[in-house]
C-alpha cells in the first residue's frame, strides 16, 4: 500500500452528513462516503473523505450551507501505520 493522505469530515447526525454530501456534489467536489474510523468518536457513523487540496474550499461551502461539522481531520495512511490529526 502506498502512502495516502486525505481529509475526513465528521458529523453528529446523518442528516448533516447527507446534506454535506449533496452540497459538496452540487459544487463539483469528488468525495467518498466512508465509515468513521474507530479512532474518531461521533454520533453519526458516516464521514466524507476528500482530497487534501479541497480543504479550504469545502469548509467554506459547508459553512455557507449551514452544515454542522463534529470535526475534520487529516488522515495519513502509510503502509500499516495510520495517523489521524484533528484540524478543527
**pLDDT(56) > 90:** no
3-class DSSP assignment, residue 51: coil
pLDDT, tens digit, for every residue of 7-35?
Answer: 999 998 999 999 999 999 999 999 999 99
CATH class (in words) of the domain with range 4-86:
alpha beta
Cell of 26: 452540487
Query: Taking all residues of the chain, what is their mean pLDDT, rounded to a whole number?
Result: 91
Q: What are phi and psi of 16, to 5 degrees?
A: -70, -35
Mean pLDDT (whole number) for 55-80: 92
Amino acid at each position: 500500500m502506498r502512502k495516502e493522505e486525505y481529509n475526513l469530515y465528521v458529523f453528529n447526525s446523518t442528516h448533516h452528513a447527507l446534506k454535506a454530501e449533496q452540497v459538496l456534489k452540487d459544487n463539483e467536489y469528488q468525495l467518498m462516503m466512508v465509515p468513521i474510523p474507530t479512532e474518531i468518536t461521533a454520533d453519526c457513523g458516516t464521514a466524507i473523505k476528500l482530497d487534501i487540496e479541497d480543504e479550504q474550499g469545502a469548509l467554506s461551502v459547508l459553512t455557507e450551507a449551514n452544515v454542522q461539522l463534529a470535526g475534520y481531520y487529516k488522515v495519513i495512511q502509510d503502509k500499516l501505520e495510520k495517523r489521524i490529526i484533528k484540524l478543527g
